[in-house]
Amino acid sequence: MQETKELQALAINTIRFLSADGIQQANSGHPGLPMGAAPMAYAVWTRHLRHNPANPAWANRDRFILSGGHGSMLLYSLIYLTGYDLPLDELKRFRQWDSLTPGHPEYGLTPGVDATTGPLGQGLSNGVGMAIAEAHLAKVYNRPGYEIIDHYTYAIVTDGDLMEGVAAEAASLAGHLGLGKLIYLYDDNRISIEGSTEIAFTEDRGKRFEAYGWHVQAVADGLDVEAIDRAIQTAKADPRPSLIVVRNIIGYGLPTRQGTAKAHGEPPGDKELNAARDNLGWPQEPRFYVPDEALAFFRQAAARGAELEQAWQQKFAAYRAAFPELAAELERRLAGQLPDGWADTLPVFPPDAKGLASRASSGKVLNALADRLPDLVGGSADLAPSTVTWMNNSPAFAPDCREGRNLHFGVREHGMGAVVNGMAYHGGIIPFGATFMVFSDYMRPALRMAALSHLGAIFIFTHDSIGVGEDGPTHQPVEQMAALRAIPNLTALRPADANEAREAWKIAIENRHRPTALVLTRQNLPTLDRSVVAPAAGVRRGAYVLADLGEGQPQIILMASGSEVSLIVEAGQRLAAQGVTVRLVSFPSWELFGEQDAAYQNAVLPPEITARLAVEAGVTMGWHRWVGSQGRVLGIDRFGASAPAATVFEKFGFTVENVVKIAEGLL
């Protein structure tokens, strides 16, 4: 069907009023963005976006992110109109229980949604990770004449997105890396919830992004589809990431609300909406009206998308014939599968009283994994030597080295978390990001989004306790372990020694549908003698009986995670020498243990044994679930202190003598 000016106007108004009708019917939502940004969304989706509505997971599709996720009805309208498996009835159930059209887009729920968005700045930053993944996979797998990975990442970003600090972090990184397949359209409507952006946001946004190294263009009239189209074409030809500043009018068409904060985040009301229909020549009835001509025009995306994917499949078949090993590996990665024997060469650590810091043993495991898993791509927030996360057999990812697997994120923890999520959204990559445990707070929104979106991202947090020592309370995490455990669908693992670190990594690699946090020490931990205590494979169940000391039923259970496990082992041995029967439990993951059946939980923590002591160098909150009403927790419910690590542990009572004393008081 040939696009005409009349058809274009009809199609754009279809987007506007489908969105507004959904919001009005729900009596909840944000009409301003969909009504104002509809023309530029139309330009992207009908003229540039390469996608197949019949296969939302097509690996070489262009990605589209609605970073201003509050305008979700814009995205749902586009998804429905272009023929994804999202019935019109679901648009009528916007923001209702169990619908496919929640208040903000959710990855994995609604077909065609490439990223969970809403918390501002996250989607913008996710796109940077998607572009990194595309560039890396293209460099590694493409061959002349076989551009198997070749697509763009588009986003609509908002004033609020650009205000958020995470956006500054990610945009700075994108400019430095020269991610030219990143094209963002900025909804420059200059209105936020409190009013004009003049009250708080007056810098020259275009010059700011130019300073980051972006290609910046301006479109003076957001209704001018041809100008927007030309800007996108120009952006595609530029090697830099692109920001197209499009001057829009929020709530366009609403007679008393357009251009004002009232258009942003509340239903317009029937009177205002009917007047907008009159303004734009749209019938007042029926609601959710979709003209046949507009629907037929949008639905051309289905045939076009099928042709695009079929052509790609034919190219991939030729690629497979020419490069069978490369093709097989790429297919495996895109399918999220692991190669046979991927864990066969992981190190097994012998007993060692001195041992290793778990950050160091983790680094050894990571490098062994990296040699078998080309999927692993990641880095740290300027801390690779300290987090021990450099993959020795790969260079750094850079503008002239897209094959590099080590990422220099810079001191940008929040941006790192969101970029790691973007790589996970893209697929074909097992991404990781690393920093000190205390700075997990800086990236908490990204951790939460990874968990909400069921992403297999890996987050490595070292320097996990008061063992940081002289750096003092600013760098000594005490509340962060509890904070990680509070995030639903996040697996937090705090291994007790080098072999538990190996098992924790295996769990992280296998968990492709939820994120994992590996919590590691700076200080050395003794490597336990596994001929005396249980195998480290028990980590897989979250908590396991390390050993029963003495004869008969245990009188007391000592449990701990991470660096404190070796402490309870020594304390347990001392108690056993005094004739006390002791059960020692290593407890690396509450989440995994909580998922075990009651029989296993009761086998590890028999209900009849009420004398229980948990030992962890962090806040005590939550441990009473496991120690019961008659048990005790040795923890730290205050900030740490600056002194050598051994002194700090002693002053806070993390000594064998104190553990024995508390245990004796429970008997």
CA angle, 559 as apex, 555 and 561 as ends, to 5°?
170
> Could you give the CA distance from residue 444 to residue 452 in angstroms, rounded to a whole number?
12
Token pair 């289905």 in the structure block, residue: 302
**Coil, helix or strand for 241?**
coil
CA distance 351 to 328: 40
- Give me the active site residues, please: 413
Rounded to 10 degrees, what is the CA torsion of 595, 599, 602, 607?
Answer: 120
Torsion over CA: 92, 96, 101, 104 (sign): positive
Measured CA to CA, the distance from residue 127 to residue 142 in angstroms comes to 21
Give the number of other CB atoms < 10 A from CB of residue 72. Answer: 29
Integer-rounded Cα Rg, in Å, for the chain is 28
Give just the sign of the alpha carbon dihedral 153, 156, 159, 163: negative
**Cβ pair 662, 632 in contact under 8 A:** yes
d(CA 212, CA 99): 40
Whole-angstrom distance, CA of residue 233 vs CA of residue 48: 9
Provide the residue count of the chain. 667
Residue given tokens 């041809």 in the structure block: 226
- Edge-to-edge order in the sheet of strand 544-549: 544-549, 582-586, 556-560, 612-615, 632-634
